[in-house]
Amino acid sequence: MAIVGGRAYTPQQIRDAENEAMTVCAIPESRLIATAASAVTAEICGRFPGAETKGLRAAVLVGRGNNGADGWMTATGLLRHGWSVDVIRTSEAGGSAGCSEAYETFLEEAEKSSGNSYSAATLSDAVAWDSYDVIVDAVFGIGLNREVSGEVASAFSEINAKRGRAYVVSVDVPSGIDALTGAVLGAAVRADCTVTFSAKKTGLVLYPGRDYAGTCVVADAGIPARCFREEGYAVLETAPILPKRARDGHKGIFGKILIIAGSATGPGACILAAKACYRSGAGIVKAVAPEVVLPELLRFAPETVFCGRKRYVSRIAEEQAGYDVRLIGPGLGTDAEASELLTSVLGGSDDTVTVFDADALNLLAKLLSDGTPEQRIRQLAAMLPKRSILTPHPAELSRLLGVTVGEVSAKRLDFAKLWISLCDIVLVMKDACTIVAGDGKLVFNATGNDGMGTAGSGDVLAGIASALANFALRGTATPAECAAFAVALHGTAGDIAASEIGRVSLTAGDIIRYLPRALGAPSAIEKGTDD
């Protein structure tokens, strides 16, 4: 199997590559700035052709650093293409050497401009933002590490209010967005399009930065590939390409999955997980659940083998025998019986892959002693079978780490890096941009949509992850890779479903219905079946 997608880099990795290009490859900084600005100009002119005849107007908001230099050079390029350009500075004169040089270049071009209007003002002057066809944001680049406030923050608010009237293009990253974490630093520009250079920054993959960026266009800034000494983070952009199935294969080699899930109040979770397992290629699925779940299982997932909880507890070794992957948690509950079921899995073999989801995660959290996130991660590493995959949403992860949900959201990258430094257990940090931590590295997910924020979506992911975990046992992939593939497949199915029926109406069952399409086969809906 292979991850299908691109890569994201941290701001520091980008800066290191830029320095390598200038010092080792002897590429002048001015050339890098000119190349970057040309890409922004080309993007704008490609979207708005015929500036000379249409009288198109652009406002370019520039800062004092090299992002501002990109802005001045973009303004120069727009003048050359017939635009009327107003450049608005966030402050009076001054700035980086690159910015000053780009400013001089703009003035030279403006003097020989063939009738196109131009001006250079500051934010202290009144700016009629709604009089422009395009607003270019070139204030802060990847180095911003402070809160945006005052006059600049007010300007960002005004620009955001004019979105829809004017097309907003951000240079490299939307100003005000932390290029590492995607956080809003006080105030930020909401762009229709962000032209980012060389590669996506992690802050353009993570939310809310990804939302503020609008359509993200990756442009060549003239930095040779060899200048990137680190490979960055893999970004999942579509479903994985799965290995071809053996023509003479049978259910025994396609994955035998044991699901311990469901309760009297949550029978649907067990059914969704089982159906997702089968739709993702599992050969046989056995559900361990209360007897009350059986009628619903027979109705909606009759292919599933059933084992009552009481029978399972009395014959654990016998019922687990031969099953490659175990999934525990969806709709399980957190009572004494559920705790006993969790204990049966914790004492199981390391030869299988075990997926812990939902209530199983909450039960695990109760077993941990108070301590720092580092201490609690170490406890989990000692407690869990070696081939384990955990799939918490932010609230579940906060319980595991002993921190608040707010801390989880604010420090996702920090916690992900801490995790891979301390243990080999795979962590799937579910969120709008899910991060998979395992094999000593992080993988970011760019598939999926807000329609998937619906009850049961996590149960479907757990089922998909359990089915694909079979590849880890066949030597085709590691558990971490299987988890990443599952996240990408889940998100792709959700995206196809949303394109067909809309995000508002999407349900967890729709994700399952479109799994065949995500895997490259006709969907159940196309075949006219009610899945």
Distance CA 379, CA 373 (A): 10
Question: What pLDDT score does 50 carry?
Answer: 86
- The verdict on 89 and 200 lying in the same domain is yes
pLDDT for 258: 97
The pLDDT value recorded for residue 114 is 59
Query: Is residue 528 in some structural domain?
Result: no
pTM for the model stands at 0.92
Q: Do residues 194 and 205 touch, judged by C-beta distance below 8 A?
A: no
115 and 264 co-located in one domain: no
Is residue 119 over pLDDT 80?
Answer: no
> Does 485 fall in a domain?
yes
Residues 200 and 265 in one domain: no
Q: What mean pLDDT is predicted for residues 56-75? A: 94
Does 501 have pLDDT greater than 50? Answer: yes
Residue 525 lies in a domain: no
Residue 134: CATH number of its domain: 3.40.50.10260
Residue 68 pLDDT > 60, yes or no?
A: yes
Average pLDDT score over the chain? 92
- Tokens (6 digits) for 392: 């918490």
Give how far the C-alpha of residue 398 lies from the chain's centroid of Cα atoms, to the nearest Å: 19
Q: Measuring CA to CA, which residue among 463, 450, 507, 456 is closest to residue 489?
A: 463
Per-residue confidence at 351, pLDDT binned at 50, 70, 90?
confident
Number of structural domains in the chain = 2
450 pLDDT higher than 60:
yes
d(CA 432, CA 210): 10
The whole-number pLDDT of residue 358 equals: 97
DSSP sequence for 371-396 = --HHHHHHHHHHHS-SSEEE---HHH
The pLDDT of residue 208 is above 50 = yes
pLDDT for the residue numbered 530: 42
Q: What is the pLDDT of residue 195?
A: 98
Q: How confident is the model over 13-37, as a mean pLDDT?
A: 95
pLDDT: which is higher, 130 or 136:
136
Question: What residue numbers bound the domain in which 171 lies?
Answer: 8-232
Residue 528, pLDDT score: 40
CATH number of 273's domain: 3.40.1190.20
Domain end: 232, 265, 294, which one? 232
**Percent of the chain predicted with pLDDT > 90:** 81
Going by pLDDT thresholds of 50, 70 and 90, the confidence category of residue 230 is confident
pLDDT digits 0-9 by tens, 90-113: 975 567 888 888 988 988 888 777
Say how many residues make up the chain. Answer: 531
Sheet of 200-201: strands edge to edge? 200-201, 5-9, 233-236, 441-445, 435-438, 426-429, 388-390, 353-356, 325-328, 256-260, 284-289, 305-308
What number is the average pLDDT over the span 331-339? Answer: 96
3-state secondary structure of 214: coil
3-state secondary structure of 293: helix
Q: Which two tokens stand for residue 155?
A: 């300007």
Looking at the structure, do residues 198 and 271 belong to the same domain, yes or no? no
Q: Is 18 helix (H, G, I), strand (E, B) or coil?
A: helix
Would you state the pLDDT for residue 334?
A: 95
| Inside any domain, residue 526 | no
- Note the pLDDT of residue 45: 96
Is there a domain that residue 452 lies in?
Answer: yes
DSSP letter at 397 equals H
pLDDT digits (tens, 9 = 90+) for 261-320: 999 988 999 999 999 999 999 999 999 999 999 999 999 999 999 999 999 999 998 998
List CB contacts of 295: < 8 A, sequence separation 6 or more: none
Q: Which of 232, 267, 287 is the last residue of a domain?
A: 232
pLDDT at residue 259 above 60? yes
Is pLDDT at 526 greater than 50 in this prediction? Answer: no
Model confidence at 241, pLDDT cuts 50, 70, 90, reads confident
Q: Is 369 exposed, middle or buried (0-12, 13-18, 19+ CB in 10 A)?
A: exposed
Percent of the chain whose predicted confidence (pLDDT) is above 70: 95
If we measure between CA atoms, which residue out of 112, 105, 106 comes closest to residue 87? 106
